[in-house]
Chains A and B, each alone.
Chain A
Amino acid sequence: MSQKEIVLHLYRSFLRASNKFSSYNFREYALRRVATGFRENKNKNESETKDLIKESMKDLEMVKRQSLINSMYSKNKLVVE
Chain B
Amino acid sequence: MIRNTFRLISNVSRPTFVSAKQSPFMSRNYGTLSEKEITDRVINIISNYDKTQGKTVTPTTTFKELGLDSLDAADILVAVEEEFGIEIPDEDADRIASTAETITYLRKTPTAK
A42 near B94 (CB under 8 angstroms)?
Answer: no
How many residues of B are in contact with the other chain, CB < 8 A? 12
B70 near A38 (CB under 8 angstroms)?
Answer: no
Q: How many angstroms between the C-alpha atoms of A32 and B70 in the bound complex?
A: 17
From residue A12, how far is it (CB to closest CB) to chain B in Å?
5
Overall SS of chain A's interface? helix
Q: How many angstroms between the C-alpha atoms of A8 and B78 in the bound complex?
A: 12
Chain B residues whose CB sits within 8 angstroms of the CB of A15 once the complex forms:
74-75, 78
- Asked if B65 is at the interface (CB within 8 A of a chain A CB), the reply is no
How many residues of A are in contact with the other chain, CB < 8 A? 13
Q: How many angstroms between the C-alpha atoms of A30 and B78 in the bound complex?
A: 14
Overall SS of chain B's interface? helix
- Asked if A44 is at the interface (CB within 8 A of a chain B CB), the reply is no
Interface residues of B in 74-95 (CB under 8 A from A): 74-75, 77-78, 81-82, 87, 90, 93-94
Q: From the candidates A9, A12, A38, name the one contacting B78 in the complex (CB within 8 A).
A: A12
A11 near B71 (CB under 8 angstroms)?
Answer: yes
What is the interface of chain A, defined by CB distance below 8 A to chain B? 4-5, 8-9, 11-12, 15-16, 19, 35, 38-39, 42
